[in-house]
C-alpha cells in the first residue's frame, strides 16, 4: 500500500520518539517536497530538523505539485485546496497522483478536503492506534508522552487510543 504523509504526523512521532512506527506499519512513506521543507524549517523543533538531516531510506520525497498551480475541486461543493498550507495541499495531490491507500494528515481542513476527494485518511492518533493494536507500543505511555507535546486532540480521541489496547 502506498502511504503519503503530511508534516504533523511525522513531526509528532519524532517528538515522542516513535517515528519507527511508520516503517513498522507501512514499510515506506512518500512525502511531497513542501513537507520535507516544513520538517527541515529552521524554526521547527530541533529533533525534527536533526532527524531530517539524515532522513531514513523508508521516506521518499517527491517533487511538489502545487507550486504555480491553483487547483480547484473536482466536483462542486468540494474544498478548495488553495485554502490549505503547501504541505497539506501537496500531500493531498501526491496521494491522488500515486493512488495512495492512506494519507496521514492531522489538520481538520486538510482531512476534510482529502475525504471530499475520496482519499482514506488517518492522523497521528490513528497511527498510534494501529501500532497499539499490533502491540508495537503501549497506549497509556504514548498517550501520556503525546499529551506533553503541543499536539491537540479531543478527549474522545485519546479515549479511542486507550481503547485500542485490549
CATH code of the domain covering residue 80: 3.40.50.1010
Binning pLDDT at 50, 70 and 90, where does residue 26 land? very high
Distance CA 142, CA 60 (A): 26
pLDDT digits (tens, 9 = 90+) for 141-159: 999 999 999 999 999 999 9
Please check whether residue 15 is in contact with residue 44, taking contact to mean a CB–CB distance below 8 angstroms: no
Domain count for the chain, please give it: 1
pTM comes to 0.91
Q: Which domain holds residue 44?
A: 3-163
Amino acid at each position: 500500500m502506498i502511504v503519503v504523509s503530511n508534516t504533523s504526523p511525522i513531526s509528532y512521532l519524532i517528538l515522542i520518539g516513535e517515528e519507527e512506527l511508520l516503517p513498522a506499519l507501512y514499510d515506506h512513506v512518500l512525502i511531497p517536497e513542501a513537507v520535507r521543507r516544513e520538517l527541515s524549517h529552521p524554526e521547527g523543533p530541533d529533533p525534527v530538523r536533526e532527524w531530517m538531516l539524515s532522513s531514513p531510506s523508508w521516506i521518499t520525497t517527491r517533487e511538489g505539485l502545487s507550486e504555480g498551480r491553483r487547483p480547484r475541486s473536482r466536483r462542486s461543493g468540494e474544498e478548495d485546496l488553495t485554502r490549505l498550507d503547501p504541505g497539506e495541499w501537496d500531500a493531498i495531490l501526491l496521494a491522488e497522483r500515486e493512488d495512495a491507500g492512506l494519507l496521514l494528515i492531522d489538520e481538520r481542513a486538510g482531512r476534510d478536503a482529502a475525504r471530499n476527494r475520496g482519499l482514506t485518511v488517518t492522523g497521528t492518533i490513528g497511527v498510534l492506534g494501529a501500532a497499539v493494536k499490533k502491540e508495537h507500543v503501549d497506549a497509556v505511555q504514548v498517550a501520556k508522552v503525546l499529551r506533553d507535546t503541543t499536539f491537540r486532540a479531543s478527549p474522545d480521541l485519546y479515549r479511542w487510543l486507550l481503547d485500542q489496547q485490549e
